[in-house]
Amino acid sequence: MKLKIYSLIAASTITMALSSCKKDFLEQTPITQVGPDVAFADAAAAEKLIQGAYDGMYNDFHIWDYMTNGDVRSDNAYAGGDNPANIQLDLFTVISTNGNVGRDWNALYSDIKNCNLILTNVPNIKDTKLDAGDRRKQILAEASILRAYMYFNLVRTWGSVPLVVKVPITDAEFYPAKATVEAIYAQIITDLEYGAANARTTAPNKGIMTKGVANALLAKVYASKATPDWTKVSTYADAVINGGYSMVTNYDFLWDSNHKNNTEAIWEMQYDGYGGLHGNWMPSVLVGTGWKRFNTPTNSLSKAFDDAGDAVRKASSIKFNNVVSEGWSDSYWAKTSYPYINKYRADDKSDNYILRLADIILLKAEALNELSSSGWSAAAPLINQVRNRVGLAATTASDQASMRLAIENERRLELAFEGHRWFDLLRTNRIIPVMNAQVDGAGANLNYNLTPAKLYFPIPQDELDKNPNVR
């Protein structure tokens, strides 16, 4: 029986605008250019499908929107530049026609579509090569971890969204309603548990989904649920910490482009330059002259580094330039000392650290602190491990409440511009008071007026127009 092949689409939950009939849609070329007669025929085709899922991730969301969503919306960065969509994110005036909102929704659901192709069809491929060395399970595990990561981003960014876990066939499946946040998290955990049980422990590079990636995501997922399960956070963080990773000795090694796929990296994107298959253009929009760059570090973050005496991480994270000769102005910074993000420096080489060990160590410390009123003492050595690397003294936190704030600040300084800050403040219910207290360099309140109604992106207008079930 010939299987139906679905095209690579840029629409949510595969709810695309079917301006033509479904027959035309079904006849389009599938991902990785596998023809309809061989797409699900053998082990080689299965390998093409999983490679297609990885290749499909080199889109705007994974290249830099993940960082814009996590840092520009937070107190780490202003929008910078002159892009109206980014400015809306910065000022909490996002509307359903915002271009970033639409492209991120499309990118994540397109990635999910690629995973669903694998998870729906690879189990049925009759090729004994797939079962040699458990390769079939490994491919399914990698696709499961990838799908979980996409839904984790969706649920944290939009809240309730459609949950699609197979290739759609019926009209109803093409136009799904939104699932509850609880149901989405349950599916994420199911996918990650399968991934943790069946993925490889090590892989040829850090771009491949391994047990370590699944365990790290499980720790973050259990910390992000409406009611965090700190015991599970601790357990999965331990699995990562004891999983063969180690922090690099020099913090700047993470960003100098000479230490890719290092011992601290759990998962990082694999960029090979503009002349290769996967170029990373993000640094060119963050640093340089000739036009005002995006994602400008905030006065608040710069001050936080200074208040902590954290010269090492500040130098790795923020670079100050004299831009008096540039033909633009800025509302927040003097042009004599204007800041740029410095973590992504090599214009065609930088890797994005999607997950790294320091993040999980700090999450383990948070779990210990939340599990017991005396847990702060057990958390302190973990905090100090991260601080000692950059030459800082031991934390002075001496009870649960002060340790909670110490961990929050440590995560901010350690993980700045890695896409975490907004989601850390969101999951700890700190986002509204922190953002509404923000001031400029002169101490004037920025009047963000953040409210619960503004915490999540709206469903993109294109999706609302196509699928009435998501309204």
SS3 letters across the chain: CCCCCCECCCCHHHCCCCCCCHHHHHCCCEHHHCCCCCCCCCHHHHHHHHHHHHHCCCCHHHHHHHHHHHHHCCCCEEEECCCHHHHHHHHCCCCCCCHHHHHHHHHHHHHHHHHHHHHHHHHHCCCHHHHHHHHHHHHHHHHHHHHHHHHHHHHHHHCCCECCCCCCCCHHHHCCCECCHHHHHHHHHHHHHHHHHHCCCCCCCCCCCCHHHHHHHHHHHHHHCCCCCHHHHHHHHHHHHCCCCCCCCCHHHHCCCCCCCCCCEEEECCCCCCCCCCCCCHHHHHCCCCCCCEEEECHHHHHHHHHCCCHHHHHHHEEEECCCCCCCCCCCCCCCCEEEECCCCCCCCCCCEEEEHHHHHHHHHHHHHHHCCCCHHHHHHHHHHHHHHCCCCCCCCCCHHHHHHHHHHHHHHHHCCCCCHHHHHHHCCCHHHHHHCCECCCCCECCCCCCHHHCCCCCCHHHHHHCHHHC
pLDDT tier at 39 (50, 70, 90 boundaries)?
Answer: low
Report if residue 352 sits inside a domain: yes
Looking at the fold, whether 352 and 305 belong to one and the same domain comes out as: yes
pLDDT at 347: 67
pLDDT at 38: 45
pLDDT tier at 438 (50, 70, 90 boundaries)?
Answer: very high
Q: Residue 22 pLDDT more than 60?
A: no
Looking at the fold, whether 388 and 246 belong to one and the same domain comes out as: yes
Q: Residue 2 pLDDT more than 80?
A: no
pLDDT tier at 409 (50, 70, 90 boundaries)?
Answer: very high
Least confident of 190-194, 273-277, 292-296, 298-302: 273-277
Least confident of 4-8, 325-329, 428-432: 4-8
Supply the mean pLDDT for the chain.
90
Please state the pTM of the whole predicted model: 0.92
pLDDT at 183: 98
Report if residue 438 sits inside a domain: no
Looking at the fold, whether 119 and 237 belong to one and the same domain comes out as: no
Report if residue 369 sits inside a domain: yes
Q: Residue 288 pLDDT more than 60?
A: yes
The domain tally of the chain equals 2
Q: What is the mean pLDDT of residues 311-328?
A: 96
Q: Which of 316, 211, 339 is nearest to 259 (CA)?
A: 316
Report if residue 97 sits inside a domain: yes
Looking at the fold, whether 417 and 466 belong to one and the same domain comes out as: no
Report if residue 459 sits inside a domain: yes
CATH number for position 317: 1.25.40.390
Q: What is the mean pLDDT of residues 309-334?
A: 95
pLDDT at 351: 80
pLDDT tier at 280 (50, 70, 90 boundaries)?
Answer: confident
Q: Residue 227 pLDDT more than 60?
A: yes
CA gap 325, 85 in Å, rounded? 27
pLDDT at 209: 98
Whole domain around residue 403: which residue ranges? Answer: 215-280+297-428
